[in-house]
Structure 1
Amino acid sequence: MGGESTTRTAPRSGGASRGPAGSRTGQRLSGLAVALGLVLFLGGFAWGAVVYRPYTVPTSSMAPTIGAGDRVLAQRVDGGDVRRGDVVVFTDKTWVTNAPVVKRVVAVGGDTVASTGGKLTVNGKQIDEPYLADDGLADLQNFPTVTVPKGRLFLLGDERSGSLDSTAHLTDAAKGTVARSAVSARVDAVVWPMNGMLVRPTSFEQLGALSSPGPLRTMVALIVGGGVLVLGGGAYGPIANRLSKRPRTGTGPADAR
């Protein structure tokens, strides 16, 4: 018989659910990203709280490296790990203060240090100091050669004309030096204003190895990366929901007659 037959095709359905929050796989990945991000974000802050201490420097004796009122982050270190060129935090009661003091280490136990013609020399070598200001405040008053006792440090401020540092205590029994054990931290960065990491002075390399930078950059990367994962994972649901509500264009398969 020449009857007319009609074949209808059912709409095809995709394997993944397209609910308002996206596919199940997407939801799981989103949740995983948020969880991992929280671990990295909180872990970075926790690590930083254990390793670093914040300080506010009240004077300009370390200018231009650190200005008056600047906020710094200093890594907790043992005094035995301090090397030439480090900017350290220490407390020494013989300096007529119980408050933490921030200065730069220029010589360590066994070194000879002096100033001739306003220039710093350590072990007979003139030290280039690019961290100093260019306006004359960097000039050192001449002082005779000091031999730093074992286990002690000779420290200077970067603003030489206004810094009460080792040169102000040369008549003391310790000749202005400070015990390594008095050091509690090494400054890694100026965080307010956001001047960033302190530059390691390479001129001291001729006298020995410099200190390695602390883990601050790694911590910042963990915190930033964790924040990105949390925001990205949290944004997946609203974005998927918005996309699922967009009107679909086109028509389904036509009837075959």
Structure 2
Amino acid sequence: MSGNIRTQGGHGRLGSVLSGLAVAVGCVLFLGGFVWGALLYQPYTVPTDSMTPTLDVGSKILAQRIDGDEVRRGDVVVFEDPLWGNTTMVKRVAAVGGDTVACCDRDGRLTVNGTPVDEPYLSPGPDGQTRASGTEFSVTVPAGNLFLLGDDRHTSLDSRSHLEEAGQGSVPRSTVVARVDAVVWPVKGVLDRPKGFAGLPGGISEPGPVRPLLTAIAAGAALILAGGAYGPVAGLFTRRRTAGQRAGEREKVGT
């Protein structure tokens, strides 16, 4: 009997050590993930429907803090430009400095330096046709600037609305404060980088570390819950085992 008790006690101590270790590692992952995320990312709420269907109005997004020089074509960026009202806005980069961006080709597509760009995120218009813009334009973007468009080309007020201004509607790279990496509510996950821009010089950007960051936070939460649950669960099984042993002893005495 005494040998069994020592074995169970050893298992209990080992379980306690492992559960404590799980909680400690979980806290490191969970809190570390939040700290890492706070340093790299800024949460925003999408203010308008100009980026639908990619970003719905009111969506909660995570945008990686970056320098404007890191921006590539196809990126969805957060920027603040005094000429556009000095408010925080979200648009997609259609062209960068030196590009000639125009619309539309015979298939209704945007062209950058004469190369048609497929944009599968665009929605058809009231006539059922999908066009990159309802208005024709051709702009050569000044060096150091970006030409920005909303994904809802029917309602978005973007670079097309500022064609008569300096820079022909483009904005300086320095106005960019972040690049959108993920939509956390409603849950859409990490934004895909548009392949339509991939064949152009410079290619497209790589997603930031949002996936490993969210994985670390989720794994940390799971370890904390699992480690914290060990004590109550082990105690429940111990009480049930003890009650069973006592019932067995009473039956033997009765016999």
Name the TM tier (shorter chain): 0.7 to 0.9
1:198 aligns with 2:191: yes
Hey, what's the Cα distance between the residues in 2 that align with 1:22 and 1:233? Answer: 15
1:15 offset after TM fit, Å?
A: 7.7
Q: Which of 226, 231, 244 is equivalent to 2:225?
A: 231
1:22/1:241 contact within 8 Å kept: no
Aligned residue for 1:40? 29
- 8 Å contact from structure 1 (residues 22, 244) kept in 2: no
Residue segments in structure 1 that go unaligned for 5+ positions in a row: 1-10, 252-257
**Partner residue of 1:106?**
94
Out of 174, 182, 187, which is 1:181 matched to? 174
- Give the match for residue 212 of structure 1: 206
Q: TM-score, normalised by structure 2?
A: 0.87
What corresponds to 2:65 in structure 1? 76
Q: Does 1:61 align with 2:50?
A: yes
Please identify, of 21-30 and 178-187, the stretch whose mean Cα deviation from structure 2 is larger: 21-30
Deviations 1:35-91, CA, capped at 9 Å, x for gaps: 111111111111111111111112111111111121211110110000000000001
CA offsets 1:198-256 (integer angstroms, 9 cap, x no match) = 111001011032111111111111111111111111111122222222124989xxxxx
Task: Name the Cα RMSD after superposition.
Answer: 2.1
Identity %: 55
Pair member with larger Rg: 1
- Match of residue 161 from structure 1: 154
Instruction: Give the 5 Å matches for 1:99-138.
Output: 99-117=87-105, 118-135=108-125, 136=129, 138=131
Find the counterpart in structure 2 of residue 86 from structure 1: 75
Between Structure 1 and Structure 2, the one with more helix by share is: 2
> What is the CA–CA distance in structure 1 between the aligned matches of 2:98 and 2:4, rounded to whole Å?
77
Q: Is the 8 A contact 1:138 1:161 kept in 2?
A: no
8 Å contact 1:115–1:144 — kept in the other structure? yes
Query: 2: distance between equivalents of 1:137 and 1:72?
Result: 26
Structure with the greater relative contact order (CA < 8 A, sep ≥ 6): 1 or 2? 1
Deviations 1:64-123 (A, max 9, x none): 11111212111101100000000000011111x121110000111111100125421001
Of residues 211, 235, 244, the one that matches 1:241 is 235
User: By how many angstroms is 1:14 displaced?
Assistant: 3.8
For structure 2, list consecutive stretches of 5 or more residues without a partner in the other structure: 250-255
**For the Cα contact (< 8 Å) 1:138–1:159, is it kept in 2?**
no
Amino acid paired to 1:166? S
What TM-score do you get using the length of structure 1 for normalisation? 0.87
User: What amino acid maps onto 1:43 in structure 2?
Assistant: G
Report the Cα offset of residue 12 of structure 1: 5.2
